[in-house]
Structure 1
């Protein structure tokens, strides 16, 4: 009589609720079992693997999630059900809260109304392409009935034709691709049909950074501001707004003139002002501080001590470099308002706070600083990001280089004795 240990692995009896696992004719292993599906129903799901162990592990993971009360979307689920499952069961553990909030709005406002009723297994590339084309041409006031209570726009027969920007349509497409890619990884779909749809690359957002003259004017106007050290640090180092507001005194070494960047202050829907790690590993960096920033930071530290004494017991000691007059974290929105008022007082054109970062990179490029150094200073993940964002500056530098070479080769120039360039360069 054969014992359980003598029984082949493919024929062992599994307990009730554990599902079944067997080898298909094509050599792959298939595991099937019942899980909790959207709508508080139970559905049978199938997963596949190259080995019995792999298929069984995938099924066990789905059953475990189902036992925790998490609905599992199967291939016969609708796109809307799957997107809801992916948003609340997968993406919530992989992205930041603010990113998850944007995903949720994208799914609620666009993806579910446009594709939610279709079966996940029957979704085609044509469905996705038709959906995206409709997004580009549809007035959003009409589609989302934003004006029904105000008796404006479409309700009075005068459509405002408020369409989504190409950048927003591309973002919606990327969210759909991410969700379907997870379905492919879990073997719920054989392929990601959204990847077969090509969307035109949106034009990059145009920005107008400060010129060298405007940058000097800005620094002069900021010299008497309470947040002078912050503005100077932003323009001279290119730190992001969240990185500046999430900077602690312990992150600074004013003696050696360096700063460690590994935190960021963000406002989240549930936690309010929250200190988080930088978004990517590349954003964690150590930068050299300019001499001017060291002097302004030391002055700012002295001024903060005076504010601490003036506030007394009302001071909140959190170790942040830039705070309110009572020691609380600075709200990013309030900083944006203060920045706008400073520009107005200085008589400068209005730009975004993030354009200070662009100004840093642009001015460094124009001074001939190597692109790799700028990438490390800004904390870009890849040098292609740096090169792509500031392509217009590189083109201008190329023009200057060509003009310089042209002047050197001009036989009618200041050096008539120079021999003409007759050699052909290949």
Structure 2
């Protein structure tokens, strides 16, 4: 508290003595001191002034305090200066680090792009396809599928203009010319698509490995695939086989196929142990295929080999009809006679249909005999696989469900059964249309 007064003591009208003063710490607010006598007012004023002086001295900072305050203020200033300098330096370091990081990323990107471009320029389509099939596909697909891919590769890619083209130079235009050229040369749409699929798999892998930027096959147009419809024997032609051809050598295999719808490879791979005569059923668990094998000298040839069936659904059990059982019993009797006649050279491997020495039926000779067999009895010259079509078609015309037919044929999906094998005959179409007569 600090006071200011004019020391003018006066007597009020009420008889009391008074003096006024100002407290400068309270914005000069006026205060009053009262007393009964003038001396009493003087004493109170003196006491108040004394207290105000002590308070002012007490509040006044000492010299050491002033010095310390100055030092602290100076240190604070220095700290601010240092912090500002450090912040500036940190910003500079960060900017340098960012620049270095960006430079490193650019270098890595350039190196990656350079590596990618080098790989794209290094591989030709034919060299990459061969490497891709050997290292990425062979161990994950069936042996027959791999042989099929290699056959397409040798026939349509190896030592061709497109095969010698670098991956980095491959584009949709030159691929489109290949597919158009195949169509012009008479290849069907299915073959063209097989070539497309093979190239497409290899290019997709090259994109994934960043050897090329994009798959040029994504931008081509393929010829429209025509739906293939196999032929089927009529019911009359099927009866001709059962009634008149029992003495023929091929009767058992043809009759069994007509009664079971098995694939040719499944029939040829059938063993006696797969047949349960008591329960009148057989179990399909093998498929005879022609596969390419290489010898020690590097030469390769095709050999017959029993592999797993086409799909998991192909492993199935098929009930046997009377005619199927009859055909198997005929074959069993004939085979026993051959075993006795050629017992010196006969190698019994358990197969149902064999050559005279017990080995698997030779496919070329078998098919020649098959076509002679059909011609002899005036039956349509159809593929052996069309016996399977006949089985499905006849069941379909008799009103059997597509689901049951699918399971008997061993198709992976019912769509295949509906789209490929259930060819409706002219008789079936006429019967369907004739139902309209009952409506009109």
What's the TM-score, normalizing by structure 2? 0.66
**Are the structure 2 counterparts of residues 253 and 115 from structure 1 closer, same or farther at C-alpha, using a change threshold of 3 Å?**
same
Instruction: Please state how far the C-alpha of 1:182 moved relative to its aligned partner.
Output: 3.0
Give the RMSD, CA atoms, in angstroms: 3.0
Question: Hey, what's the Cα distance between the residues in 2 that align with 1:79 and 1:381?
Answer: 33
Partner of 2:120: 75
Mapping of residues 211-230 of structure 1, within 5 Å: 211-230=234-253
Q: Deviations over 1:254-289 (max 9, x none)?
A: 110111112011232326221111122221111111
Partner of 2:198: 175
For the 8 Å contact 1:242–1:332, the answer to whether it is kept is no
Instruction: Please state how far the C-alpha of 1:394 moved relative to its aligned partner.
Output: 8.6
Q: Is 1:85 aligned with 2:131? A: yes
Partner of 1:329: 360
Instruction: Please state how far the C-alpha of 1:101 moved relative to its aligned partner.
Output: 3.7
Partner of 1:408: 438
Instruction: Please state how far the C-alpha of 1:322 moved relative to its aligned partner.
Output: 0.9
For the 8 Å contact 2:251–2:327, the answer to whether it is kept is yes
Q: Deviations over 1:67-89 (max 9, x none)?
A: xxxxxx93332222211212333
Question: Hey, what's the Cα distance between the residues in 2 that align with 1:265 and 1:392?
Answer: 26
Question: Hey, what's the Cα distance between the residues in 1 that align with 2:306 and 2:388?
Answer: 21
**Are the structure 2 counterparts of residues 184 and 348 from structure 1 closer, same or farther at C-alpha, using a change threshold of 3 Å?**
same
Q: Is 1:345 aligned with 2:376? A: yes
Q: Which has the larger radius of gyration?
A: 2
Aligned residues: 325
Partner of 2:174: 127
For the 8 Å contact 1:114–1:131, the answer to whether it is kept is no
Question: Hey, what's the Cα distance between the residues in 1 that align with 2:236 and 2:334?
Answer: 29
For the 8 Å contact 1:241–1:332, the answer to whether it is kept is no
Q: Deviations over 1:304-333 (max 9, x none)?
A: 222212212211110111112221111122
For the 8 Å contact 1:238–1:377, the answer to whether it is kept is yes
Instruction: Please state how far the C-alpha of 1:381 moved relative to its aligned partner.
Output: 1.5
Q: Deviations over 1:198-235 (max 9, x none)?
A: 31332133432101111111222331123322111111
Instruction: Please state how far the C-alpha of 1:196 moved relative to its aligned partner.
Output: 3.4
Q: Is 1:261 aligned with 2:304? A: no
Question: Hey, what's the Cα distance between the residues in 1 that align with 2:427 and 2:156?
Answer: 40
Question: Hey, what's the Cα distance between the residues in 2 that align with 1:184 and 1:286?
Answer: 44
Q: Is 1:116 aligned with 2:157? A: no
For the 8 Å contact 2:288–2:304, the answer to whether it is kept is yes
Instruction: Please state how far the C-alpha of 1:393 moved relative to its aligned partner.
Output: 1.6
Partner of 2:406: 375
**Are the structure 2 counterparts of residues 301 and 392 from structure 1 closer, same or farther at C-alpha, using a change threshold of 3 Å?**
closer
Question: Hey, what's the Cα distance between the residues in 2 that align with 1:284 and 1:189?
Answer: 42
Partner of 2:231: 208
Aligned residue for 2:133, secondary structure, equals helix
**Are the structure 2 counterparts of residues 105 and 196 from structure 1 closer, same or farther at C-alpha, using a change threshold of 3 Å?**
same
Question: Hey, what's the Cα distance between the residues in 1 that align with 2:199 and 2:344?
Answer: 51
Question: Hey, what's the Cα distance between the residues in 2 that align with 1:407 and 1:169?
Answer: 46
What's the TM-score, normalizing by structure 1? 0.68
- Higher RCO by CA contacts (8 Å cutoff, separation 6 or greater): 2
Partner of 2:8: none
Instruction: After superposing the two structures, state which structure 1 stretch, 222-231 or 373-382, moved more.
Output: 222-231
Partner of 1:295: 326
For the 8 Å contact 2:229–2:423, the answer to whether it is kept is no
**Are the structure 2 counterparts of residues 164 and 256 from structure 1 closer, same or farther at C-alpha, using a change threshold of 3 Å?**
same
**Partner residue of 2:336 out of 296, 300, 305:** 305
Aligned residue for 2:187, secondary structure, equals coil
Instruction: Please state how far the C-alpha of 1:191 moved relative to its aligned partner.
Output: 4.3
Partner of 2:77: none
Q: Is 1:362 aligned with 2:373? A: no
Question: Hey, what's the Cα distance between the residues in 2 that align with 1:396 and 1:200?
Answer: 33
Question: Hey, what's the Cα distance between the residues in 2 that align with 1:205 and 1:302?
Answer: 39
Question: Hey, what's the Cα distance between the residues in 2 that align with 1:181 and 1:82?
Answer: 12
Aligned residue for 1:325, secondary structure, equals coil
Partner of 2:30: none
Q: Deviations over 1:144-194 (max 9, x none)?
A: xxxxxxxxxxxxxxxxxxx32332222211221122233344454454331
Instruction: Please state how far the C-alpha of 1:117 moved relative to its aligned partner.
Output: 3.2
**Are the structure 2 counterparts of residues 127 and 389 from structure 1 closer, same or farther at C-alpha, using a change threshold of 3 Å?**
same
Gaps of 5+ in 1: 1-23, 34-43, 47-72, 140-162, 411-426
Q: Is 1:165 aligned with 2:188? A: yes
Q: Deviations over 1:20-52 (max 9, x none)?
A: xxxx979xx99x99xxxxxxxxxx967xxxxxx
Question: Hey, what's the Cα distance between the residues in 2 that align with 1:391 and 1:291?
Answer: 24
Question: Hey, what's the Cα distance between the residues in 2 that align with 1:390 and 1:314?
Answer: 41
Question: Hey, what's the Cα distance between the residues in 2 that align with 1:25 and 1:362?
Answer: 65
